[in-house]
Chain A
């Protein structure tokens, strides 16, 4: 397997960028799934997304290339490639230059990098939303540990179930109007709207 060091050679030298992104991706994935703390999950998510961003950036990299703005004197390869190709010189005589493949060689591909600008924006939005959710969860349950959260949610569910059993008992009261007031009081905290609801129903 390690004859001539080909695998190691390929992984660590030729394909180092892919190797690193896969490692980062797996670290992030592990944190997102296995960690119990919600913030740690989010850190994992950031690592996961950053790994993908690194992957995209690395595929746009080209050794010795420059930014894709047409400036022949700034282009390290431009001076070599232009005279060697006779077709190219004719383009230089005219005003606007049509970028042939040989001329483009000196430029790095900007597209993957530009795509990642969008992906970074999406990632920031996701992270911001997730942090806001964490805040809501902490305000509501007083914890951001997943197992404690589940335990608290379960205990609250049991409490709300016992409440919902009490409501049918109230329903046995003969007067309908009292019942409706009871219900709206028990269900809504401050909804003035729902209190006014029963009236149109009564008309029907």
Chain B
């Protein structure tokens, strides 16, 4: 397929329109439309990856409106630009989208009855926006797609309870500040370079030697801070836990794994491809300042996660901590740190998906995601809990899972660039996560509650009810996506060398320090 990049967007975009129109007469039709368009989009994504790998310079461009690449500076007209990094993250987004759309049948019907057409319309537009962020080659177009993803995200969260609406309002205010700062930064870039094409901007920065220009420095700070707000980096994280923990199950399953990761992708894209390695790391102070902010971010997020008594809130704070890992991996300015960061974007999406899918099943069965509601769940739903804890072990970083390998590269990066504070804080947060998950494992295995009430054991006394509760798994339409997601966590972990070799091909274009550390 020649124009497979376009097909990535055509499927979900027209799927969402179909949901909005056909859903009026028949609400049941939205679910198959969503699943089919996600499957088609994923197929187009895989096709694009094959194209990207088959081309010599590993980039495939799709130009809108019949423009060509001849003009200098590059890029009159909007370009979609797929390189290895972009298409990898797109595949992650589309894969998460497919699994969540499979999973969504029952939760959407139950939690937002009567609103299925609206939900799936927003769902597909959200995926379109996120995939667009990963593939666009135009800085202003990126802003528009960020807002497409953000606006649909607000809708998807607020479609739930009143609490969710209140949480969404804060998300909207902070999200708008972040996106607007990014837009302002793009304005400064445009003043100085006269182009909006990412490759074109980079060409001009290199050709004109704009590294010392005050305008570009301001642009860098504005774009950077805007993206940091959007990705919920620690001081700006306030919107995330409330929004994700109050959102409907399906929404949090879709947004939590991908939205923050996609924004980290945007940061990597800006740092490497747009501003360039020399500008970002050598002529700004961010390499000195950000690793220390990351230390504060990870410690605070981990401690706050430890204080939570509710699974979805705890997972939300874990996301904030993970964002710290990835930002740190970029700003320790090191080849291995960047491999770790990119790999962690992929693996964190997989394992967060696992955990949120599991949490959705727990919520459905136990009617609560409070820790006290977890007692004895392992005997009831062993498969769900296995899937959930494969995600958990990956967050901790136990070897066969992908979380181990990405964390390994992050720590290697910290060691090579002698950022001991970053290494120490990674170890600290790993220990916090061990405490978090083993505390939960203890709860779900122990039938007897702390206060001495014999909750689980009470069922055990009655032989017949025990038989019934023993295999009380969730419905298959929700269980299978969870098991697939946990299988992906293991498969990405086992085949980590293949993923890393792809990332290495991408990073080979950039001049990053590999050896004795910074400078």
Contact = CB atoms under 8 A, between A and B. Distances in A.
Contacts of A149: 166
B342 interface: no
Contacts of B154: 129, 133
Given A52-B187, A167-B367, A130 B172 contact: yes
A83 interface: no
Contacts of A153: 163, 166
B168 A133 contact: yes
B184 A29 contact: no
Nearest to B144: A118
Interface string A163-204: 010011001101010000001000110110110010011101
Nearest to A42: B173
Contact of A29 (B177, B183, B471, B472): B177
B187 A202 contact: no
A148 to B, nearest CB: 11
Contact of B172 (A133, A168, A183, A187): A133
Interface residues of A, number: 51
B147 A126 contact: yes
A108 interface: no
A105 interface: no
Nearest to A44: B173
Given A45-B173, A204-B471, A188 B110 contact: yes
B495 to A, nearest CB: 34
A187 B363 CA distance: 12
Interface residues of B, number: 42
B176 A59 contact: no
Interface stretch (A67-75, A88-96, A134-142): A134-142
A110 B468 CA distance: 70
Contacts of B147: 122, 125-126
B169 interface: yes
Nearest to A201: B472
A191 B177 contact: no
A193 B368 contact: no
B43 interface: no
A23 interface: no
B151 A129 contact: yes
B269 interface: no
Contacts of A133: 154, 158, 165, 168-169, 172
A52 B184 contact: yes
B109 interface: yes
Contact of B187 (A55, A174, A183): A55
A48 B110 contact: no
Given A32-B176, A41-B173, 19 more contacts: A29-B177, A52-B180, A55-B184, A55-B187, A56-B187, A59-B191, A119-B143, A129-B151, A136-B165, A140-B165, A156-B163, A167-B367, A168-B453, A174-B462, A193-B109, A193-B110, A197-B110, A202-B468, A204-B472
22 contacts: A29-B177, A32-B173, A48-B180, A49-B176, A52-B183, A55-B187, A59-B190, A111-B196, A115-B140, A118-B144, A119-B143, A126-B151, A129-B151, A129-B172, A136-B162, A137-B166, A149-B166, A176-B469, A194-B110, A200-B475, A202-B468, A204-B472
